[in-house]
Amino acid sequence: MVAVASVVVAVGAATGVVSALDDGHPAKDAKPPVTPSPDLGPSPGGPASPASAAPSPSGPASPKPKSAPHPSPSARTSRTAAAPARLYRHPDSQVRDWVDAHPGDARRAVIASRIADRPAAVWFADFTPATVTARVRAVTSAAAAQGRVPVLVPYAIPQRDCGGASEGGAPDLAAYDGWIDGIAAGLGSGEVVVVLEPDAIAQSDCLTEGGRADRFASLARAGRVLKAANPRARVYYDAGNSDWNPAADQAALLRRAGAASPASSDGIFTNVSNFNRTSDEIAYARRVLSALGGPAGLGAVIDTSRNGNGAAAGGAWCDPPGRRIGEAPTLSTGEAGIDAYLWVKPPGESDGCRGAAGTFSAQYAYELAR
């Protein structure tokens, strides 16, 4: 992961959400006290099908240079309206399944309280136009009923993962545009965070220049459609991570994809499925935002699901040992310009070394959580 692409989530068989209650304050210690885990039922669920399933993205094969240090920009103002909101805990997840199925396992209490009881993103990674609206609506309506904010990850861009381990997605951009329309139709009217297409911008160098331009146009359209359908939707665009593209280069790509336009974008996301320390990602995100331009209100969200100990030595990215869950998911980070810490990659779901990519490994989850 470090020195590689964000190596997005592997959402595996039951797309992923872990759950917890966000109290509006970022956790300083990634290990909260053990509390009883609610019985939320089996996965998959929802009226039509599980949120989605996807193979594990692999990212570029060769290391990406770390962006050169730049002076920190002046602090941007974060949207304070998000601070009181609490993230939604979706019941359908592989970790929840495991917790429910293993009441006597000695690892259960740790995994339940420190992973399964925290919110994580819901991925929509299978191209299923006929059911995507109902599946999105199942998540957003349940979140709205609780007065909470869901995090959705559309992940079906054509030529996904540049033909790597997570290849797939929509057959072409016209079909993708229609699929995004289906997602927009299910957003409802409540607040929702959309992490739009991890790796689709940072990992676009496998495309021709024309293909890249077409993809970026489609991503810009996606943001406009989502925000027009629900003005309370906050859409964030792929900025890779601090060990990938230099900030100025990434900002130039983001600008072409609509990330500087308030009609499409609320900002950027970084570190999806990666291990880079939050402090490094904050500094990088601020450099990208400074170079990006656009409205002062643009912010960033950071995936903190597995970055508690930082990146592994030598840039190991595939389920490396010695890692730890990071800051608890929250919409109140206390950091200017950083709108949220999110668990985009559900902790315990394998990159492909602790099991098939996207499947849940209880032992890996336990190692991350304890």
**Which residues are known to be catalytic?**
161, 199, 351
CB atoms within 10 A of CB 313: 9
Lookup result for tokens 């499925």: 273
Compute φ and ψ for 299, nearest 5 degrees.
-130, -165
115: helix, coil or strand? helix
CA quadruple 279, 248, 193, 15: dihedral, nearest 10? -80
Q: Is the peptide bond before 42 cis (omega within 30 degrees of 0)?
A: no
| Helix, strand, coil percent content, the chain, rounded in steps of 5 | 30, 10, 60
Asked whether 358 and 349 are in contact (CB, 8 A), the reply is yes
Q: Which tokens go with 142?
A: 């349940």
Of 289, 233, 300, the residue nearest 263 (C-alpha): 233
Asked whether 348 and 111 are in contact (CB, 8 A), the reply is yes
The string of DSSP letters for 231-251 reads: TTEEEEEE---TTSS-HHHHH
